[in-house]
Amino acid sequence: MDLQTPIKDAGRLYKMYSRRLEKLGIKTVEDFLYHTPFRYEDYSLVSKIKDVQPGEIVTIQGTIAEIKNQYTHRFRTLQRAKVEDQTGTIDITWFNQPFLLKTLRIGEKVSLSGKIELFAKKLVLQSPEYEIINGETIHTGRLVPVYPETRGVSSKWLRRQVATILQEQKESISEYIPYSIIKSVDLIELLDAFEQIHFPKSLDLTKKSRQRLSFDELFLIHLAALTRRKIWEKNLKGYPFSISKFKKNIQAFWQKLPFELTQAQKRAVREIFADLASKKPMNRLLEGDVGSGKTVVSAIAMFLAHLNGFQSVLMAPTEILAQQHYHTISKLLTPFGVRVVLVTGSKKFKIGKGTTSTTGITGTTGIKKFARDTRGTFDTRDAFPFDILIGTHAVLSEKIEFEGLGLVVIDEQQRFGVEQRAIIRSKGKNPHLLTMTATPIPRTVALTLYGDLDLSFLDEMPKGRKLVKTWLVPLEKREAAYEWIKKQIAKGDQVFIICPFIEESESMQTVKAATVEFSRLKKAVFSNLTLGLLHGKLKSKEKDKVLQEFRNGEIDILVATPVVEVGIDIPNATIILIEAAERFGLAQLHQLRGRVGRGDKQSYCLLFTESKSEHTRKRLKAMEAMHVGAQLAELDLKLRGAGELYGTKQHGVQELKIASFSDFALIEKTRREAEKIFPNLSQHPLLEKKLKSMTVQDVSPD
């Protein structure tokens, strides 16, 4: 067994626990060392029995003089023991742990840590942590680590494994960070960091250990990104697109646009055009809030690909989003003779406006097949021509082939795995790659997560777009809010009501659940209106049906879970009411808010919370004044920490095991050090080896 051994191969005990450990992110032996405590119990005060006082948290070390089970009238058991040292004797009590009589035997020397209680005028140590003294103690008599746990895996069990691994694998823990960096950044050494974060001699040393391990984590992320970028630039040769040759066509496109691009969109287009004209394939991330105009920017890139004789593909995570992209891009590009096609799981192919006729299209076999059976699979090898293919995962089908794929656009790229992104790129020869996201990420974090990509930010909204008025609604104004909503609906508006869960949770009775709230609102509040219900457990067809009815105006109020977070565009929906708003991160609330304000009407976002916390109310109040997603995400980092940055659960955002995305100073420091050492990486074989053991993703040439 070594540090890289998978848990299931590390022996019978670990194999039994492997599934449980996987829930904690422990997949290899080394992962135990990176599973760090979130707090420490201070059992470092070791006292003689004669010196203990009521209320003290102490450790006593002595010999078991007596231990027995005592049965109560409720068929429960007490375990009573007497422990003595050279200064006296004290009573010990545990509850319902009869197995202790087999573990702790008379005459054994034990260490016990807990709180001294006064019971019937006698001092008692109640329910203490215990261990038989056999060398250095790990559960008592020191700062004792408390770990994130899962069912069947306690902190005590984890402590034993970590202590064993540190002892047995000490020689395997080699220092891979160059000593020049350790000295200049003032870091403690790696083995010391592991020992002092798990079994510290002082709390000050835990801080130094966490600082060291956080540095390593961020430093390696930056180095991995630099490595991916280097491989991309060195090994991939792309096809540069001509821009000057098609100036007139591009000018005609600008003039035909029904709106003026924002300065941010113009800047992004310039950056993308510069990439497309380069000999190396573009690898750019376009980040912007919902409604900031990412689709239009991608359409311009796809138009340039078309002018240069290349096909494009746009892959979106949901059918709803794919259909919206299809409608937007068809409207913009079919007037210029661009053939746009939609392919999804349920609707295999849809021919864009202006391409429905088979006249003049060579190889009409596919068209005839399509006309016969719109539900059947369609093989592009049947010679069906298109310039832009838009779809969901369905575009990954091996039946879909491209004659000359020059540009791949992936929307909400974090929703797709590395393998899926590689499959779509492999359908062309080193095509340009543009990925897009509406997930609000602070710029510093984006540079860390996506350091291998060139970044473009759309940080302003299109002109004329009205800000969504946002209010944190006090509990006493709930009924008044409902009455106001009824008046707005009477004017022809539609409403989203968002609940954090699908069904009511026993442990969270106060948190509104979509199914329960739907029934309550339908019966007691909006009985004269039409309500719909949307959540993640509905089948795809059921979701589509509900959304279509909402889009058609047949539903007044859509009660939903955060499944509406991305990709639902209902211009007539002007109000979004969010229940239990405190359960969402500000970034996620901002994305939910983006579901309204899609048309030219004034829109509103109402935040409801039953939390009495002033800190929570202050955080939610920020939504009233701030309307830029990245700024809200950054504020949430400062207020709540990275663990909750993206709300209840956000796909694709890389989790840090030890470091924090809110530590902007350390992020900057590690980036500088990574950039400094990267050109000479080959001179540091241990660091290179450590880096190779990480997954360097999505970098190999196609």
DSSP state letter for 436: E
Q: What is the pLDDT of residue 417?
A: 65
pLDDT of residue 75: 61
Percent of the chain with pLDDT over 90: 52
CATH superfamily for domain 244-458: P-loop containing nucleotide triphosphate hydrolases (3.40.50.300)
Mean pLDDT value across residues 508-535: 82
Confirm or reject CATH 3.40.50.300 for domain 469-644, answering yes or no: yes
Average pLDDT over residues 507-520: 70
340: exposed, middle or buried (Cβ count in 10 Å: 0-12, 13-18, 19+): buried
Same fold, 244-458 and 469-644: yes
Question: Looking at the predicted structure, is the pLDDT value of residue 282 above 60?
Answer: yes
pLDDT at 565: 52
The CATH class for the domain spanning 45-141 reads mainly beta
Tell me, what's the pLDDT at 120? 83
Distance CA 459, CA 288 (A): 6
Residue 622, CA atoms < 13 Å, CB-side half-sphere: 23
pLDDT on residue 566:
58
654 — pLDDT class (breaks 50, 70, 90): low
User: Residue 503: which pLDDT band, with cuts at 50, 70 and 90?
Assistant: low
Average of per-residue pLDDT across 316-322: 83
Q: Report whether pLDDT(259) > 60.
A: yes
Separation of alpha carbons 690 and 679, rounded Å? 17
Contact (Cβ atoms closer than 8 angstroms) between residue 131 and residue 140? yes
* Stretch 447-476: mean pLDDT: 85
Any idea where the domains of the chain sit in the sequence?
Answer: 45-141, 244-458, 469-644
| 16-30, 44-58, 102-116, 319-333: range with lowest mean pLDDT | 319-333
Judge whether residue 655 has pLDDT over 70: no
* Pairing assessment for the beta strands 350-351 and 340-343 based on DSSP bridges: antiparallel
Average pLDDT, the chain: 84
Q: Please state at what angle helix 294-307 crosses helix 319-333, rounded to 10 degrees.
A: 60
The predicted structure's pLDDT at residue 600: 77
State residue 641's pLDDT score: 57
Percentage of the residues of the chain whose pLDDT score is greater than 70 = 88
Q: What is the largest CA-CA distance in the chain?
A: 103
Asked if the model's pLDDT at residue 353 lies above 50, the reply is no
Position 569 pLDDT exceeds 70: yes
Integer Cα distance of 532 and 555 in angstroms: 6
What is the predicted pLDDT for the residue at 427? 85
* 638 — pLDDT class (breaks 50, 70, 90): confident
What integer is the mean pLDDT of 93-117?
93
Q: How many CA atoms, within 13 angstroms, populate the side-chain half-sphere of residue 428?
A: 26
pTM of this structure = 0.74
pLDDT for residue 640: 64
pLDDT tier at 222, thresholds 50, 70, 90? very high
Look at 153 and 566; give whichever has higher pLDDT: 153
Residue 652 predicted with pLDDT over 90: no
Task: pLDDT band for 512, please (50, 70, 90 cuts).
Answer: low
CA distance linking residue 219 with residue 696, whole number of Å:
14
- Tell me which residue of 168, 126, 161 sits closest to 145, measured CA to CA: 161
